[in-house]
């Protein structure tokens, strides 16, 4: 078993970002990110603080907004529209999960695509799908200056590629078909025509699908959901989950058990998370460049 650590890859990306930010500064532009935190969800608060620390380190201006859990959907939409209209804000991000009574579908449509640094607007996701429909590879999609890729799925792709996993020769299971799983499956399909199966955590064939997969990517928000008996010997396991428990932050994989069987495994924290946060900043810088030329 080897640990697939996201921190070294994140540091390499950050070094490149520092140079890009310096060039933007010379042109009078300070990349600015505006995450919106609604309520007091522990996981959302962790992500919010993590972004703030990294932004400060890189020289990205952090214009975060904190709203109480009682905030109405209408009020949140008004705040998003304000940030959309602010020319000094380049990246807009809504921390998840949102409190009950606020529709993510309604909120996602309000984020301006050019500032949608986590790619939740249907128009942004549509570009990802249309890019795939024209047989664009993951590398080609990533290189497009006008296209922002969803940060967490991209972080998973970068980890897999850095590890040397040949996706064209593997069967990959994506457990969790939500905001992370669906775009991740699209990116995986573009990389070497990988065989990808998506499944929900309550699916009847889950054990069978996960048990035969060479690569297992998990994003279900359930601590320790994937156990050692569910995976095959030598599998690569990517734990995308982040769950705040009484014992601290844990993933969706029973790390202690699964690490004994996995060939590669990502820790939580320290695996996907650091790279995701870094790529959020990278998207903010890319958005700043695009908006500068408008």
pTM for this model (two decimals):
0.93
Segment 19-28 mean pLDDT: 96
pLDDT at 169: 78
Q: Which residue from 265, 274, 218 is spatially nearest to 2, judged by alpha carbons?
A: 265
Domain ranges of the chain: 29-112, 151-273
- Burial class for 91, CB neighbours closer than 10 Å (0-12, 13-18, 19+): buried
- Give burial (CB, 10 Å; 0-12/13-18/19+) of 245: exposed
Q: pLDDT confidence of 135, banded at 50, 70, 90? A: low
* Residue 136 pLDDT: 76
Say if 29-112 and 151-273 have the same CATH topology: yes
Those residues whose C-beta lies under 8 Å from the C-beta of residue 139, and which sit 6 or more positions away, are none
Which CATH class for the 29-112 domain? alpha beta
Cα 214 to Cα 211: distance, rounded to the nearest angstrom: 9
What angle do helix axes 42-58 and 272-292 make, rounded to 10 degrees? 60
Split at pLDDT 50, 70, 90, the class of 250 is very high
The SS3 of residue 276 is helix
Task: Specify the CATH number for 151-273; select among 3.60.15.10, 1.10.3720.10, 3.40.50.300, 3.40.50.720.
Answer: 3.40.50.720
Mean pLDDT of 269-289: 96
How does pLDDT run across 151-163, given as a tens digit for each residue? 999 999 999 999 8
């Amino acid at each position: 078993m080897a640990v697939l650590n996201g921190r070294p890859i994140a540091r390499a990306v950050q070094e490149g970002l520092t140079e890009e930010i310096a060039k933007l500064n010379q042109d009078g532009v300070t990349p600015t990110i505006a995450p919106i935190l609604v309520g007091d969800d522990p996981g959302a608060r962790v992500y919010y603080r993590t972004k703030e620390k990294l932004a400060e380190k890189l020289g990205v201006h952090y214009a975060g907004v904190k709203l109480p859990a009682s905030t109405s959907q209408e009020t949140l939409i008004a705040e998003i529209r304000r940030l959309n209209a602010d020319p000094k804000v380049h990246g807009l991000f809504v921390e998840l999960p949102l409190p009950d009574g606020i529709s993510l579908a309604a909120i996602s449509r309000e984020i301006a695509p050019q500032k949608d640094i986590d790619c939740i607007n249907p128009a942004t996701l549509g570009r990802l799908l249309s890019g795939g429909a024209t047989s664009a590879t993951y590398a080609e999609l990533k290189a497009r200056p006008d296209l922002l890729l969803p940060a967490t799925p991209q972080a998973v792709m970068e980890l897999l590629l850095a590890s040397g996993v040949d996706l064209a020769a593997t069967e990959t299971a994506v457990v969790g078909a939500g905001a992370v799983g669906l775009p991740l499956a699209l990116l995986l399909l573009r990389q070497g025509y990988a065989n990808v199966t998506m499944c929900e955590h309550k699916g009847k064939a889950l054990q069978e699908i996960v048990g035969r997969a060479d690569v297992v990517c998990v994003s279900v928000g359930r601590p320790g959901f994937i156990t050692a008996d569910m995976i095959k010997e030598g599998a690569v396991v990517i734990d995308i989950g982040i769950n705040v428990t009484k014992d601290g932050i844990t993933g969706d994989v029973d790390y202690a058990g699964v690490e004994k069987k996995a060939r590669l495994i990502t820790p939580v924290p320290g695996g996907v998370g650091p790279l995701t946060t870094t790529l959020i900043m990278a998207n903010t810088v890319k958005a700043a460049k695009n908006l500068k030329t408008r």
